[in-house]
Amino acid sequence: MISRIVTARTMARSVGSVRTTLIREPGSLRFNSSITKPKFPSSASTTPPPPPPPPRGRILIGLGLLAAATSMAAVFYTNKSPVSAVEPQPQTGPEFPENKISVVFVLGGPGAGKGTQCAKLVQQKGFVHLSAGDLLRAEQAREGSKYGELIATCIKDGTIVPQEVTLALLKQAILEQFQKGSTRFLVDGFPRKMDQALSFEEQIAKSAFTLFFECPEQVMLARLLERGKTSGRADDNVESIRKRFKTFIDTSMPVVDYFDKQGRVVKVRCDHPVDQVYASVLEALKQRGI
């Protein structure tokens, strides 16, 4: 009987799936065996866990590389270079074609007498006198002007107002007078720098010539100080006047020289009596067909 039990146990171990139970009955022993299914690891236990999601930075880098590759492919495909979002507009030329209007630049140091001679030309020759300085002062005084403070500072310091401001004021004034039938303009105190001269002729009109008043500095200083007694202008004082003289020599004389090399400058001495100077101005205009 014992050998049967040993044999049964051995068979159970060899099969690996037999569960053996000894049941004692009166006078005998018998086996109660039930077969169980072998236990294999489940598929869930053998599948490795999913990898962690990639960091956010790597995702963004990947998207950036993808976008760059797409753009490059588009460039090669269309055979065109990339362009900016806003393309510069082509230059369309001056507002007024040549011979449409006649513009005479009037230059000279502060106190040379430009305004006095221009006033006589307006009365006798029908010119429209546009003083760059007067236009700037009017803009400075205009309520709500965004350039008022800037213009005031430049006038006080004897420096030049940015050309965009002066050009815009001159263009507006010329257009207004042109719509009224005027075609002859004296632009007084302008251009004061080379960039102003070039921009005016590119954007508004080509000048006929430049009328340049030559005057000794001491004569101009005396005139300005005398005017300052009644003008109320902030720049009619010795300090501002000397700054203006220096600015004129440094920035405006190169403009005179530039036009002079083109044969487009008429020089008039203005340290003489007003009427004598005016006679010289009329002769200069006559020689130029104006």
CATH of domain 102-287: 3.40.50.300
Residue 92, annotated as binding a ligand: no
Cis peptide before 191 (omega within 30 of 0): yes
What pLDDT band is residue 36 in, cutting at 50, 70 and 90?
A: very low
Residue 196, annotated as binding a ligand: yes
Residue 136's closest CA among 110, 154, 124?
154
Residue 51, annotated as binding a ligand: no
- Measured between alpha carbons, how far is 222 from 270 in angstroms, rounded to an integer? 14
Q: Indicate the SS3 state at residue 202.
A: helix
What's the pLDDT at 230?
86
Q: Say what the pTM is.
A: 0.64
With 70 as the cut, is the pLDDT of residue 109 above it? yes
Q: Could you give the strand order of the β-sheet that contains 128-131, starting from the edge strand earlier in sequence?
A: 128-131, 184-188, 102-108, 209-214, 265-269
For the ranges 66-80, 92-106, 133-147, 258-272, the lowest mean pLDDT is seen at 66-80
Residue 46, annotated as binding a ligand: no
What pLDDT band is residue 210 in, cutting at 50, 70 and 90?
A: very high
With the C-alpha atoms ordered 161, 147, 228, 213, is the resulting torsion angle positive or negative? positive
Residue 269, annotated as binding a ligand: no
Domain with CATH 3.40.50.300 in the chain: 102-287
CB atoms within 10 A of CB 151: 22
Residue 200 in tokens: 């005016």
- Measured between alpha carbons, how far is 290 from 282 in angstroms, rounded to an integer? 9
Residue 113, annotated as binding a ligand: yes
Residue 13, annotated as binding a ligand: no
CB atoms within 10 A of CB 130: 21
Residue 24, annotated as binding a ligand: no
What's the pLDDT at 160?
86
With 50 as the cut, is the pLDDT of residue 88 above it? no
What pLDDT band is residue 253 in, cutting at 50, 70 and 90?
A: very high
Q: Indicate the SS3 state at residue 186.
A: strand
Residue 227, annotated as binding a ligand: yes
Residue 163, annotated as binding a ligand: no
Q: What percent of the chain has pLDDT over 90?
A: 50
Q: Which residue is associated with the tokens 């036009």?
A: 259
Residue 129, annotated as binding a ligand: no
Residue 244, annotated as binding a ligand: yes
Residue 191, annotated as binding a ligand: yes
Mean pLDDT confidence for 201-216:
95
> Phi-psi bin for 189: left (phi > 0), alpha (psi -120 to 50), beta?
left
More confident of the two residues 12 and 189: 189
Q: Please enumerate in sequence order all residues whose Cβ is within 8 A of that of 184, keeping only pairs 6 or more positions apart, or say none.
A: 101, 102, 104, 125, 126, 127, 128, 290
Residue 9, annotated as binding a ligand: no
Distance of CA 198 to the CA centre of its chain: 19
Residue 112, annotated as binding a ligand: yes
With 80 as the cut, is the pLDDT of residue 222 above it? yes
What's the pLDDT at 43?
45
Distance of CA 21 to the CA centre of its chain: 97
